[in-house]
Structure 1
Amino acid sequence: MKIESLKLVCFSPTGTSKTVIQGIARGINHDKAEIIDITTPDARREPLETSENELLVVAVPVYMGRVPALLVEWLQAIKAHDTPAVGVVVYGNRVYDDALIELNDMLAQRGCRPIAGAAFIGEHSFSSAETPTAEGRPDASDLRQAELFGCKIREKLNAVPSADRIDVAIPGCRPYRGDPTLWTVDFVAVSDACTGCGVCAEGCPTGAIDPEDGYSVDTEKCITCCACIKNCPAHARTMKPGLVRDASVRLSTLYRERKEPEYFL
C-alpha cells in the first residue's frame, strides 16, 4: 500500500509521548512527515482531517489507565476517510489498562482503519529526584524499540494493497476499566526562585497557569501533568506535601521493576 504522507499527532506535556512518536517516525522513514503537537489549548482548536492515502499515528499519555479525558473531544472530532492509523499510549511504568484499546476504538469510530498499536514507557509525571519512577524514559533502548516498531508498520503496509486488508488485535476490556476523572488538588508549591519567565504558563496543556502570575494555578483546570514543575528553568516549582506527593512515593516504591514496550501488529 502506498502512503503519500505521514501525520504524527501527539499530546506530550513533559515530552515523553513526542519523543516516542519521533522514534516511530524514524522507523517508518517517510519523506513527507508532519508532527501535529496538540499539547496546548490553541493547538486543539482545529479538527484534524485525513485521507486514505495518509498514515496517522497518534500518541497520548495514559491517565488513570485511560486516554486523558481532556483529549476526548478533539479525538472525537477527527474526520478520517479509511485512513490507516496507529494508536500509541505512553505510561509511567505502572499499567496502561484499557487506554490503548480505548484510543484504538476512538480512531476506528472516526473513520480510521487501525493497523497497529503500542504501549511505551515514559518517566512518570510524578517522578522526581527523590521519588523516581521510570526516570529518564524513554531511553535509548525504548527508542530502538520505537524505531523497530516503525519499521514493522512500514513492512506491514508494503505487504498489502489497502488498509481494509489489515486486522490488529488490541488487548483490553470493554467497557473500559478505571475512572478518567482526575484529582482536583492544589499541589504545586512555588518558591521565591520564580523569575516570572512564563515558561510554565506557556507549556501548560490546559491554560491553568496565569501568564502574568506563575503563582496562580487554577486547580479546576489542572490535570496534574507536572509539566510546570519539570520544565521550570529556575527549579522554582515543587510538590507540596499531600495527595500527589504521597502518590509519587507509592509509585516509586511499588513500580521500580522495569517494564518494556509492547506492540501489536
Structure 2
Amino acid sequence: MEIKSTKLLYFSPTGTTKTVLSAIARGLNPDKTEQIDITTPKGREQSVETSEDELLIIGVPVYMGRIPALIVDWLNEIRAHQTPTVCVVVYGNRIYEDALLELKNIVKKCGGIPIAGGAYIGEHSFSKDDTPIAVGRPDTHDLHHAEEFGRKIKDKLQSLSSGSMISEIELPGEFPYRSDSKLWIVDFIAVNDDCTDCGHCVEICPSGAIDPQNSSKIDTEKCITCCACIKNCPVHARSMKPGLVQEASVRLFTLYSDPKMPENYL
C-alpha cells in the first residue's frame, strides 16, 4: 500500500505527546511529513481533511482516563476519507482507561481506518520536585520503543496492497466509557512577584484561560489543569497552591511510583 505523505496531529500542552509522535515518525521515515498542532485555540482554527493515500497519526494526552473534553468536538470534525490512522495516547503513569478506545471510535466516525494503537507514558502534569510522577518520560527507552512502533507500522502498510485489506484493530477500553471527561473547576495556580507579564503563558495556554492583560488572572472554568503555564514559565513565577491539585499530586506520587511500560497494538 503506497502512502504519499504522513500527517502528525497532536494536542500536547507540555510537549510529551508531540515528542512521542515525532519518534514514531522517525521510525516510519516517510518521504513527506506534515505536523498539525492543535494545542492552542489558534491551532484549532484550522480544519483537517485526509485521503486514502495518506497516513494520519493522532496523539492526545489522557485526562481522567479520557480524551481531553476540550478537543473532542474538534476531533469529531476531521474529514478522513478511508485514511489509515494510528491512534496514540500519552498518560502520566496512572492508567489510560478508555482513552485509546475513545480515540479509535472518533477516528472511525470521521471516516478513518484505525490500523494501530499505542499508549505511552509522559511526565504527569501534576509532577513537582517534591512529588515527581514519571519524571523524564518519555525517556530514551520509550522513544526507541516508539521508533520501533513506527517501523512496524511501515511494515504493515507495505504488506497490504490496498486500504480494503485493512482489518479493524482491537484496542482496550470499555464503552460506555467509565469516567467523566469533565475536569475540576479549581483555583490552583499561584503567581509570585517574579512574574514579568511576558505573555508566554498566554500564548501556550490550550484553553485561552489566562488574561492577556494580567497573566495572574486565570479563568478557572476554562482552565484544564494541564500545568503548561507552570512548567514553561521562563522565570518560574507560577506554582501550585495548596488544595485539590496539590493533594492529587501527592496521591499520584504515592500510589503510582512503579513505572509503566509502553503498549502497542497492531
Q: Which residue of 2 aligns with 1:179?
A: 180
Q: TM-score, normalised by structure 2?
A: 0.99
Q: Which residue of 2 aligns with 1:58?
A: 58
Distance (Å, rounded) in 1 between the aligned partners of 2:165 and 2:176: 27
Q: Which residue of 1 aligns with 2:157?
A: 157
Q: Which residue of 2 aligns with 1:263?
A: 264
Distance (Å, rounded) in 2 between the aligned partners of 1:131 and 1:164: 49
Residue segments in structure 2 that go unaligned for 5+ positions in a row: none
Q: TM-score, normalised by structure 1?
A: 0.99
Residue segments in structure 1 that go unaligned for 5+ positions in a row: none
Which deviates more, 184-193 or 208-217?
208-217
Specify the SS of the correspondent of 1:41.
Answer: coil
Structure 1 position 39 matched with structure 2 position 39: yes
Distance (Å, rounded) in 2 between the aligned partners of 1:125 and 1:164: 40
Distance (Å, rounded) in 2 between the aligned partners of 1:148 and 1:14: 23
Superposed displacement of residue 77, structure 1: 0.3
Distance (Å, rounded) in 2 between the aligned partners of 1:164 and 1:182: 39
Q: Given that residues 79 and 110 in structure 1 are in contact (C-alpha distance below 8 angstroms), is that contact kept between their aligned partners in structure 2?
A: yes
Superposed displacement of residue 195, structure 1: 1.2
Q: Which residue of 1 aligns with 2:123?
A: 123
Superposed CA offset, 1:33-74 (max 9, x none)? 011010000111121100000000000000000011111111
Q: Which residue of 2 aligns with 1:18?
A: 18
Q: Given that residues 16 and 122 in structure 1 are in contact (C-alpha distance below 8 angstroms), is that contact kept between their aligned partners in structure 2?
A: yes
Q: Given that residues 10 and 36 in structure 1 are in contact (C-alpha distance below 8 angstroms), is that contact kept between their aligned partners in structure 2?
A: yes
Superposed CA offset, 1:9-49 (max 9, x none)? 00000000000000000001002001101000011112110
Distance (Å, rounded) in 1 between the aligned partners of 2:29 and 2:147: 9
Q: Given that residues 115 and 163 in structure 1 are in contact (C-alpha distance below 8 angstroms), is that contact kept between their aligned partners in structure 2?
A: no
Q: Which residue of 2 aligns with 1:227?
A: 228
Specify the SS of the correspondent of 1:126.
Answer: coil
Superposed displacement of residue 210, structure 1: 1.1
Q: Given that residues 4 and 31 in structure 2 are in contact (C-alpha distance below 8 angstroms), is that contact kept between their aligned partners in structure 1?
A: no
Q: Which residue of 2 aligns with 1:77?
A: 77
Distance (Å, rounded) in 2 between the aligned partners of 1:262 and 1:162: 26
Q: Which residue of 1 aligns with 2:203?
A: 202
Which deviates more, 58-67 or 211-220?
211-220
Superposed displacement of residue 177, structure 1: 1.1
Superposed CA offset, 1:197-230 (max 9, x none)? 1111110000100122111100010000000000
Q: Given that residues 94 and 252 in structure 2 are in contact (C-alpha distance below 8 angstroms), is that contact kept between their aligned partners in structure 1?
A: yes
Q: Given that residues 113 and 164 in structure 1 are in contact (C-alpha distance below 8 angstroms), is that contact kept between their aligned partners in structure 2?
A: no
Superposed CA offset, 1:113-171 (max 9, x none)? 11000000000000011111000110111000010000000000000012231221111
Specify the SS of the correspondent of 1:87.
Answer: strand
Specify the SS of the correspondent of 2:261.
Answer: coil
Distance (Å, rounded) in 2 between the aligned partners of 1:177 and 1:150: 30
Distance (Å, rounded) in 1 between the aligned partners of 2:163 and 2:59: 20
Q: Given that residues 5 and 30 in structure 2 are in contact (C-alpha distance below 8 angstroms), is that contact kept between their aligned partners in structure 1?
A: yes
Q: Which residue of 2 aligns with 1:135?
A: 135
Superposed CA offset, 1:71-125 (max 9, x none)? 1111110011000000100000000000000000100110001100000000000
What is the identity, as a one-letter code, of the residue corresponding to 1:138? P
Q: Which residue of 2 aligns with 1:189?
A: 190
Distance (Å, rounded) in 1 between the aligned partners of 2:170 and 2:182: 27
Task: Give 4+ residue runs of structure 1 displaced > 4 Å after superposition.
Answer: none
Distance (Å, rounded) in 2 between the aligned partners of 1:228 and 1:31: 35
Superposed displacement of residue 188, structure 1: 0.1
What is the identity, as a one-letter code, of the residue corresponding to 1:96? Y
Q: Given that residues 7 and 56 in structure 1 are in contact (C-alpha distance below 8 angstroms), is that contact kept between their aligned partners in structure 2?
A: yes
Distance (Å, rounded) in 2 between the aligned partners of 1:165 and 1:27: 23
Distance (Å, rounded) in 2 between the aligned partners of 1:27 and 1:263: 14
Let me know the Cα RMSD of the aligned residues.
0.6
Q: Which residue of 1 aligns with 2:251?
A: 250
What is the identity, as a one-letter code, of the residue corresponding to 1:77? E
